[in-house]
Amino acid sequence: MTVYETGRLVVRTWTADPDELDRMTDIYTRQEVTRWLPPFDGFDAARAVEGWQAFHERDPRYGSWAVQVRATGTVAGTVLFRPIPGGEGEVEVGWHLHPDSWGNGYATEAARGAVERGFAAGLAEVYALVMPGNEASTAVCRRLGMEHLGRTRRFFGLEAEMFRLAGDAP
């Protein structure tokens, strides 16, 4: 199911198609991706899809969605848009892309679409959490026009750089 589209991307729910599950597993078991994520034990793509679909069905404003490149059909990765677990209502935008899709602007484009969708639904602000040292994701936050709020340990028990974008920002 398509959630939203951008110029080059179709952002949609992940499916249980075996090829798609393989792609998801490839993304979420790569050290160059997971080193920037909160630690987790093992990865089961089928369970992830099931959980992400149920989450979106409970509240269609939020989810973890597949970012598919329109021109090739390749799933570049995931964009997430959700209340931050353990937060006080802050809504987070995030992205996890396969390394073969880095450097194409897909993270910025997918995140911008999620943020615009959130603002259209009435959100006043959106946040991003970036692990210290993740310069590529910090650059995405800057391209989105997000304000750097500094480091925090409020979420996931980890230190992260926190960014914020107000709904009235350009």
Three-state DSSP state, 125: strand
pLDDT band at 156 (very low <50, low <70, confident <90, very high): confident
Q: Does residue 86 have a pLDDT over 90? A: no
- For residue 79, give every residue at least 6 positions away whose Cβ sits within 8 Å of its Cβ, in sequence order, or none: 11, 64, 65, 67, 93, 94, 95, 107, 110, 111, 113, 114
- For residue 54, give every residue at least 6 positions away whose Cβ sits within 8 Å of its Cβ, in sequence order, or none: none
- Starting at the earlier edge strand, list the strands of the sheet with 2-5: 2-5, 9-12, 63-69, 75-83, 91-97, 125-130, 160-166, 147-152
pTM over the 0.85 mark: yes
Write down the pLDDT at residue 169.
Answer: 56
What is the tens place of the pLDDT at every residue in 89-120? 999 999 999 999 999 999 999 999 999 999 99
Rounded-to-integer distance, Cα 20 and Cα 38, Å:
23
Give, as one character, the DSSP assignment of residue 101.
G
Q: Which fold has domain 2-123?
A: Aminopeptidase (3.40.630)
CB neighbours (10 Å) of residue 21?
Answer: 17
Q: Does residue 170 have a pLDDT over 80? A: no
Q: Of 46, 10, 54, 16, nearest to 28 (Cα)? A: 46
What is the tens place of the pLDDT at every residue in 48-75? 999 999 988 999 999 999 999 999 999 9
Q: Does residue 142 have a pLDDT over 60? A: yes
Contact present, 55 and 83 (Cβ < 8 Å): no
CB neighbours (10 Å) of residue 85?
Answer: 9
The proportion of the chain whose per-residue pLDDT surpasses 70, expressed as a percent, equals 99
